[in-house]
Each structure stands twice: as C-alpha cells, then as structure tokens.
Structure 1
C-alpha cells in the first residue's frame, strides 16, 4: 500500500495546531482527540513542524515545579488493558488499536512479565514479512528443481 492510498482511506481529518497556540492548548487537543502528535501548520495549511507527547513531556519536566511533587498514582491510567503470553499477535494488535494504546503489559497471575510496544510489533511483523519474502523467493527455484527430478 502506498501512503496516497492510506490518505484516501483515512477516516478522520488530521487534527492540527497553529504555531502561536499554547502548549496547554496542544495538550488539550491531544487528550480530547486521543492522539499522540499534532502537525503544526500556518493558516494556509503549510506544515511548519510537529509537536508530540514526548516534546510536551520534556518541556513540562524542564519547566514545571509541580511535576516534582505530583504522585504517579494521581496521573496513571488505572484501568489497564493487559495481554497474556498466549495471545496471538493479531489479537494484541486489535486490542491496541481498539483501546488506542501503544503499550500493552503482559501479565501472568496478576504479575507483570513484560510489556509489548507498537514498535515491537512492527519489528516482529517486519521480520516475518522478510522471512516470507525470502521463502517465496525460493519457491520458483525449488519448483523448477522438482520438475527436473520428475522428468
């Protein structure tokens, strides 16, 4: 699939922010739209940059004294989606997509055993695809060898 195809089928419009809006406004847009980054555009729609959760987190840490006394329990997500070591990758992807999360803790008997990220999944799928391509690339040679043996 080409990115142009993705853009055509993308179901929602891209949420953007202007360069003169506040960091607080950016956080509000991220939270309200449950997204992780905002393209920064001028009034004509020209892309000027992008601001992500990570950018805002770094800035907040450097500038905000309150962050030093805020307890994690007051900020954390309490209703956590979890995975099991026995879950199929396709199932994990569907859970992450449905819940709009990028990290899924892996739990056994209420104990954390690991955590899988969307990046981990992409890496796994890439390796599987490479293996399939290598395998498919071998099929024509094997088929011709088998034909020679039969003749």
Structure 2
C-alpha cells in the first residue's frame, strides 16, 4: 500500500503554522483542530519544520513560562523527514520506528499535500492484516 492510499482515507487539510507564530497561537490552533502536531511552513509554503505538543512540553519544562512569549521557530524540529504519495507504507513505518518520528509531512513537487501519523500507519497495517485473515478464512471455508 502507498501513502496516497492512506491519505485518501483521511480528512483533507493539514494544520500549518509559520515560524513566527507565537507559541500560544500554536497551542490554540492545536486545540481547535484536535491534533498533536503542525507542519511549519515558510512564506512560500515550503516545509521548514514540525512542531508538536511534545515539543512545547519539553521546552516548557526546560525554559519555563517565558516560552509562552516566544515563537514556533524556537521550538520546532527541522530539517524535517518527508515522504511522497508514491512511497510504500511499510518503508515509511520502518523510518518512523527507527527515527522515533510520529508525524511525517507528505510532499509532492515541493508542495505539502498531507501528513501521515504513526497511528495512520498502524491502522493501515491492521486493516491489511484483517483483510489477509478474511481471505485465508474464506479460502479455508471455501
């Protein structure tokens, strides 16, 4: 299965923020969308980083409340590992596991087209296993 198949089963749209977004603005956007991460894009829409709730918590622990007067650029992770729509889900799962990455932006022709989470990858794999099981049961019963 390919990443484009995973994206087809998801709601359209990716939460993006600019590096200059204040940290409280990021938190508001994450809460409003009910997501745990945002893709950081520059003025041209190019992916320059990722920022997650985990990044906020980690930096808040080390730097305290003054973090809330800073911008996303001070806490984002970059450069970012990306994937393309034609990439295989199994290969992406291996990268996510090895590098301990929970979210990977999907980029095609330099443009952000989606985001894949480790939850998306696990769900896809479970769906594939269930389909294989159903095929085997049908074969045995047939």
TM bucket normalised to smaller: 0.5 to 0.7
Aligned length: 86
Residue number in structure 2 paired with 1:121: 121
CA RMSD in angstroms, aligned pairs only: 2.3
- After superposition, give the CA deviation of every residue in 1:113-145 in whole Å (9 maximum; x if it has no partner): 111111111111111111111111000232xxx
The reply on whether 1:67 has 2:63 as its aligned counterpart is no
- Which residue does the alignment assign to 1:133? 133
TM-score, scaled to structure 2: 0.54
Q: CA deviation at 1:110?
A: 1.8
Bigger Rg, which one = 1
Structure 1: gaps spanning 5 or more residues: 1-52, 143-151
Q: Which residue of 2 aligns with 1:77?
A: 77
- 2:92 corresponds in structure 1 to 92
After superposing on structure 2, the runs of 4+ consecutive aligned residues of structure 1 that deviate more than 2 Å are none
CA distance in structure 1 between the aligned counterparts of 2:115 and 2:66, rounded to whole angstroms: 29
What is the Cα deviation at residue 97 of structure 1? Answer: 1.9
Measure, in 2, the Cα distance between the counterparts of 1:126 and 1:94. 15
Highest relative contact order (Cα 8 Å, sep 6+), 1 or 2? 2
